Amino acid sequence: MPSSKKYTKEQIREYNRKYRQEHLESEKQKQREYYRANREERLKKTAEWKRKVRKQIEEKLGIICVVCKQEKPVQYHNTKFISHENKSPTFILKHIEDFVPMCNVCHRALHHFKTYEKEFAKYLYVGVAK
């Protein structure tokens, strides 16, 4: 505030209030921007990490469906009858011996006939080291 002029107490209070408000706004804005930039960075890192783990899983288990023997985009199915819908790539990597690659069609079919899965499994994993 310029000092050459006399201000009333109200004016000073008002000036300070405005200053704080603007300052606070810009602080908040800075925080938001920082968070946004960091969030993108974080998401990028998570995606990168997931890709890396996925690559390791693919190297260990391959990318050919154990059921139809076709090379299609595969998912990893748990042969120990553990729910694995939302398992992280790290979990799969940690329990790699319990997973087999399966294409979307075969995987869906298998889960559709969940009751028979144990029966199917006898034939399904023939020739697959399990």
Contacting residues toward Zn ion, per CB under 5 A: 65, 67-68, 77, 103, 106
Report the nearest approach of Zn ion to the CB of residue 63 (Å): 11
Report the nearest approach of Zn ion to the CB of residue 81 (Å): 9
Report the nearest approach of Zn ion to the CB of residue 20 (Å): 58
Of residues 57 and 106, the one with the C-beta less far from Zn ion: 106
∠ Cα 109 130 60 (to 5°)? 90
Of residues 28 and 114, the one with the C-beta less far from Zn ion: 114
Report the nearest approach of Zn ion to the CB of residue 60 (Å): 17
Say if CB 66 and CB 100 are below 8 A apart: yes
Of residues 10 and 85, the one with the C-beta less far from Zn ion: 85
∠ Cα 117 82 115 (to 5°)? 25
Of residues 92 and 106, the one with the C-beta less far from Zn ion: 106
CA distance 67 to 83: 19
Q: What DSSP line would sit under 60-121, residue for residue?
A: HH-SB-TTT--BS-EEEEETT----TT--HHHHHHTGGGEEEEEHHHHHHHHHTGGGHHHHH
